[in-house]
Chains A and B, each alone.
Chain A
Amino acid sequence: MKALDSTYFEFFSKFILRDLKSDEAMTMTLNGEETFFARLSNAKVRQVTNIHQAHIDFNFIKGNKVMSYNMPFSAAEGDMIIALKKLNQAREWIETLPEDPYLVRPKFYGVTKEETLNILPKNEEMLGVVLDAAAGVDLAGVFSCGDIVRATMNSEGQFHWFKTRNFYLDYSLYNSNQKAVKSLYAGSIWDNNELRRNIQDSQHKLSLMDRPSKKVERGEYRVYLAPSAVGELLGTLSWGGVSMGAHQRGNGSLKDLWQKKKTLSPQFTLKEDYSLGLSPRFNETGEVSPADLLLVEKGEYKNFLVSTRTANEYKVESNMASDWESMRSPVVTTGDLSREDIYKEIGTGLYLSDLHYLNWSDRETARITGMTRYACFWIENGEVVAPIEDLRFDESYYSIFGDALERITNFSEVIPSTGSYFQRDVGGLRVPGVLLSQFKFTL
């Protein structure tokens, strides 16, 4: 697909940028993909879709005014005419707009090119292996593979290119009682044996779900949250939790941490760490984030994510966060709880593999609600007793990663993003499991 070719994007961008006048500036950002999706249920194919798409976002500045627009990009000859036509309309509209006092002007942030394009088997071959490995099992989920591009070029000469080819099988297995386990097989190097092992491992876990379910009454219990559950908690924390702009505007959820009225557990350290390699370091405007940025260190506030726009408005220093100031490559550091000691250390309580549908109960106190999901067990005296019926929890981050945090596992898991609204996501996170002395269930 020519639209996903770096040389052509560079050529196209330079052609458009040459048309700018002396008081104009521009950043162009390319998002594109060639993706195969197979939607699966009962280990059969429900729908298959091949998608070839790309679009370019334009951030156009004239004097102290700014506006943005975009266009579909197919690398057809007509694209240049469309781009120039849209630029001319932007020139007309921008005259009528008020000035932007917090304007972020493009700068030269260097030139980088990163491509990870391992050769994968054909789409239908990989799908065939998946369905063969899952034969006789009730598997539901989605298989996806293909190329993703993120790139940006601006009128100051900056050019960043990120292209990756990867796959994921995001799935869950079900028993006859509708109990389920969830798993993910993802990467950029396909291995039939590794995939089969992943599915077999899930089948083994599912066998634990065959025991009759236990109804756990609402109340407070000792709880172990597996890495996937911790990942869900971080995902919601990205929703205004570590954004400087959100806190300045009154929508932040860790205000007391920021204002140093409260701390989290000394065991808890959270950072952005691009060495994960799942996300480009450059943001929408091509600014390059620090390779490693501490957000919380040993329970104490270090940094929130600050976009340059927020920095301009509130006179703070930018750390080149994205416009939304959400985490793109978060990592929670590990502790000393070994995998084999998890049940013993729970003693009597709950092992929760996943959490679902999190939202705020009260942002002021960082209280969050959500549900247990998938493989969640009642543990008694260090032994698995039974899967549980789903429970609703309501608890504060200041308890989860603070007062109630007893231990953190000595291992962590990399969880690539499988989001695909509008286009396939890049990014992911690396998180350990956590053992909590108490966790409140309300329904």
Chain B
Amino acid sequence: MNLKNILSTLNNLGAEYISLREVRSRTINLSVRNEVFEGLSSTEDHGIMVEVMMNGQFAHGATNSFDPAEIVRVAEEAKKQAIEASRFSLSKFSIEERPATVGEYKSPGEKGIDHFHPAEPTKLLMALSNEMKVHDHIISRTASLYLTEMDTHFVATNGADVKQNIIRTAVGISATAQSDKGTQRRSFGDDQSSQYGLERFDTAKLLVEAKRVASEAMELLEAEECPTETMDLILAPDQLYLQIHESIGHPLELDRILGDERNYAGWSFVKPADFGSLQYGSKLMNVTFDPTMVGQNASYFSDDIGNLATKEFLIKDGLLLRGLGGLESQKRLNLPGVASQRATSWNRAPIDRMANVNLEPGSSTLADMIKSVKRGIFMQSNRSWSIDDYRNKFQFGCEFARLIEDGKLTKVVKNPNYRGITAPFWNQLKMVGDKSTFEVGGLSNCGKGEPNQVIFVGHASPVCLFSNIEVFGGGK
């Protein structure tokens, strides 16, 4: 569809600003359980969002009709709503909050939806499921694959014109072991979504991981319960993704700090005055917003209002510098932010979101970290998460852990959990792993907003050591 032609027909509406954002998402999901094919789903979502500004108030209209007359009707409706709403505006905006960015972005993935055929991926998933068949106690062996391709075209009356094509994929596997000693699950890959296509799958590596998760699920069945005590805690990247997401990403969202999210996702313990003054973590803590990392899950050229995406430090040497908020929130708070006003699809208005929020590597090796611990625990792979609406008091559970005694990894323990409070926890960051421990992950299910929106985010992290953390296990 020629968006520019439609935009030109909307010029006579007399609006202060109009943008059109067409989004087409095509997604494939395949899954296998216990070597039985569970389903192939091929979905498509395609529609257009019209944004109109009148009297400094934005209003949005969304339709999945591409009849030009219907789009004009939706634009007229949005104009009327903007005028009505402008009597009650929370804030007034201007064209300054809508940059006239022009450009294109294509993710590095080569084989997207048009290259998909079910035969080979089905064979791969069957092989992975079969590889997890290490013992009769493994009662559930799942392997799944998703592939999605999103095409976005954004044009606006100020001349903005941005086209983005993003392919994302991930393969997830899990093994559930059950005996009279209980049930334990081990998984891999669901947090590994990235902007590559079908070409990324390394069958040999995935088969190794499949065997490992099944063996570790069996190991957990025989393991002792995680002890309850305060001890040093080493976290692997596949747990730190969630720790970063929940206790750094969300509290730094400017719309939360402004109170827009209070009724749903919540507020934040961070106050506007904290930027430039709050020691969020120890001096070893450096966190960036980086939508420029090649291949990471939430990389892009511009956000959904046309703001050019750049890498920025959110926290440097532990000091809070910058929040996660787009141009509208930046204006309301008079604070610096980032290009992160994003929408889940064509049917939602853009709001402040995370993109790639990464903990930068430090200088310690994993061996150094383990050696430095007298009594501690090394936890891997998130399985549970919960945090309060100000993003202070959190609790996380992991799938797998090993105790550290006198500088050495010792026995495996099951049901490991830990809890803490955000700023004190990050100030207990004692060692940060070097590049050899650094891993890049991505999630597809960050929920937020009224109306609700779910969006792709990316997180990267090295292994980290925290001192004196409350650790506990399962059971009654």
Chain B CB within 8 A of A267 CB: no
| A98-B60 contact, Cβ under 8 Å, with A39-B260, A48-B82, A392-B419 | no
Residue of A53, A357, A396 touching B64 (CB-CB under 8 A):
A53
Beta-carbon contact of B44 and A97 below 8 Å: no
B475 touches A365 (CB 8 A): yes
Bound: A49/B350 CA distance, A: 11
Known A-B contacts A47-B349, A356-B389; A362 and B67 likewise in contact (beta carbons under 8 Å): no
Is there a chain B Cβ closer than 8 Å to A100's Cβ?
A: yes
* Cα separation A53 to B413 with both chains bound (whole Å): 49
**A82's closest neighbor in chain B, by CB?**
B44
Nearest B residue to A101, CB-CB: B36
B328 CB to nearest chain A CB (Å): 9
Within A45-96, the residues touching B (CB, 8 Å) are 45-55, 66-74, 76, 89-90, 93, 96
Q: How far is the CB of A82 from chain B (nearest CB, A)?
A: 9
**In the complex the two chains form, what is the Cα distance from A124 to B57 in whole Å?**
15
CB distance from B282 to the nearest CB of A (A): 21
Question: Do residues B475 and A362 form an inter-chain contact, with CB atoms below 8 A?
Answer: yes
Q: Please, how many residues of chain A have a CB less than 8 angstroms from a CB on the other chain?
A: 84
Mask, B258-278, CB within 8 Å of A = 1, is: 111011101100000000000
Complex alpha-carbon distance, A37 and B393, angstroms: 31
A251 x B89 contact (CB < 8 A): no
Which chain B residue has the least Cβ–Cβ distance from A52?
B63
**Beyond A96-B122, A364-B474, is A76–B66 a contact (Cβ under 8 Å)?**
yes
State the Cβ distance, A24 to closest chain B Cβ, in Å: 16
Q: Which of A336-392 contact B (CB under 8 A)?
A: 356-365, 367, 369-371, 373, 390, 392
The answer, yes or no, to whether B153 is at the interface (CB within 8 Å) is no
Interface assignment of A172: CB less than 8 Å from any CB of chain B: yes
B453 touching A394, Cβ below 8 Å: no
With A170-B263, A359-B386, A420-B452 already in contact, the answer to whether A49 and B62 are too (CB < 8 A) is yes
Is A110's beta carbon under 8 Å from chain B?
A: no
A361 touches B65 (CB 8 A): no
Q: Which residue of A lies closest to B259 (CB)?
A: A41
Q: Closest approach, in angstroms, between the C-beta of A439 and any C-beta of chain B?
A: 15
Within 8 Å CB of A180, what residues of B? 262
B122 touches A443 (CB 8 A): no
Which of B176-184, B355-363, B461-469 lines the interface with chain A?
B176-184
B38: which A residues are within 8 A, CB to CB? Answer: 100
Of A46, A93, A422, the residue contacting B90 (CB under 8 A) is: A46
Asked if A170 and B183 sit within 8 Å, CB to CB, the answer is: no
- What separation, in Å, do the CA atoms of A178 and B33 have in the docked complex? 48
Contact A97 B122 (CB under 8 A): yes
User: Is B64 a contact of A360 with CB atoms below 8 Å?
Assistant: no
> How far, in angstroms, from A131 to B63 measured CA to CA in the complex?
27
Please report the C-alpha to C-alpha distance between residue A420 and residue B449 in the assembled complex, in whole angstroms: 9
Q: Does A419 contact B (CB under 8 A)?
A: yes
The answer to whether B260 and A46 touch across the interface, beta carbons within 8 angstroms, is: yes
Contact B66 A74 (CB under 8 A): yes
Given A41-B260, A250-B183, A251-B176, are A70 and B388 also a contact pair (CB < 8 Å)? no
Instruction: Judge if A140 is at the interface, Cβ distance under 8 Å.
Output: yes
Q: Does B58 lie within 8 Å of A47, measured CB to CB? A: yes
Q: Beta-carbon contacts of A207-237 to B below 8 Å, as 1s and 0s?
A: 0000000000000000000000000000000
- Closest residue of chain B to A363, judged by CB? B183
A99 to B61, CA, bound (A): 43
B47 touches A361 (CB 8 A): no
The reply on B451 being an interface residue by CB < 8 A is: yes
B5 CB-CB contact with A under 8 Å: no
Q: A70-B44, A250-B140, A357-B388 are in contact. Are A144 and B451 (CB under 8 A)?
A: yes
- Contact present for B451 and A420 (CB under 8 Å): yes
Task: Tell me if A142 and B117 are in contact (CB < 8 A).
Answer: no
**In the bound complex, how far is the Cα of B31 from the Cα of A100, in angstroms?**
12
Known: A47-B58, A396-B476. A67 touches B386 (CB 8 A): no
| Contacting pair B47 A124 (CB below 8 A) | no
- B-side contacts of A360, CB under 8 Å: 383-384, 397
Assuming A55-B64, A178-B267, is B46 touching A49 (CB within 8 A)? no
B93-129 CB mask vs A (1 if < 8 Å, else 0) is 0000000000000000000000001110010001000
Q: Mark B29-56, 1 if CB is under 8 A from A, else 0.
A: 0000100111111111111000000000
CB neighbours of A102 from chain B (8 A): 36
A330 interfacial contact with B, CB 8 Å: no
Does A442 interact with chain B (Cβ within 8 Å)?
Answer: yes
Cα of A85 to Cα of B470 in the assembled complex, Å? 58
Cβ contacts A99-122/B at 8 Å (1 or 0 each):
111100000000000000000000
A142 in contact with B263 given A358-B386, A360-B397, A420-B452 (CB within 8 Å): yes
Contact A41/B90 with A359-B384, A396-B476 known, Cβ cut-off 8 Å:
yes
Task: Please measure, in the bound complex, the distance between the C-alpha atom of A77 and the C-alpha atom of B89, giving whole angstroms.
Answer: 40
CA distance in complex: A348, B168 (Å): 54
> Assuming A41-B258, A172-B262, A249-B140, is B62 touching A390 (CB within 8 A)?
no
Binds A, one of B13-21, B73-81, B300-308, B433-441: B73-81
Residues of A within 8 A of B46 (CB): 72
The answer to whether the Cβ of A421 comes within 8 Å of any Cβ in the partner chain is: yes
Most buried by B among A36, A46, A144, A362: A46
Q: Check A68–B41 contact: CB distance below 8 A.
A: yes
What are the interface flags for A118-140 relative to B under an 8 Å C-beta threshold, 1 for contact and 0 otherwise?
00000110010001000000001
Question: Are A53 and B385 in contact, with the CB atoms below 8 A?
Answer: no
Interface residue? B159 (CB, 8 A): no
Tell me the bound Cα distance from A50 to B62 in angstroms. 6
Closest to A425 in B: B452
Among residues of A, the one whose C-beta sits closest to the C-beta of B142 is A249
User: Does B122 contact A74, Cβ atoms closer than 8 Å?
Assistant: no
Closest residue of chain B to A354 (Cβ to Cβ) is B389
User: Does A407 belong to the interface (CB within 8 Å)?
Assistant: no
Nearest-CB residue, chain A, relative to B261: A140
For the complex, give the distance between the alpha carbons of A16 and B44 in Å. Answer: 18
Q: Cβ of B59 and Cβ of A49 under 8 Å apart?
A: yes
Asked if A281 is an interface residue, CB under 8 A from chain B, the answer is no
Query: Is A250 a contact of B453 with CB atoms below 8 Å?
Result: no
**In the complex, what residues of A have CB within 8 A of residue B475's CB?**
362, 364-365
A45 touches B85 (CB 8 A): yes
- Shortest CB distance B351–A (Å): 8
Known contacts A73-B64, A390-B393, A396-B476; 5 further A-B pairs (Cβ under 8 A): A45-B57, A67-B40, A127-B88, A357-B389, A362-B397
24 example contacts (A-B, Cβ-Cβ < 8 A) are as follows: A38-B85, A42-B259, A45-B88, A46-B260, A47-B58, A48-B82, A49-B348, A50-B61, A66-B39, A72-B64, A74-B63, A74-B64, A76-B67, A90-B42, A96-B117, A98-B126, A250-B185, A356-B266, A359-B384, A364-B183, A364-B415, A364-B474, A371-B393, A390-B389
- 6 nearest A-B residue pairs (beta carbon): A362-B474, A142-B450, A44-B90, A74-B65, A141-B263, A420-B451
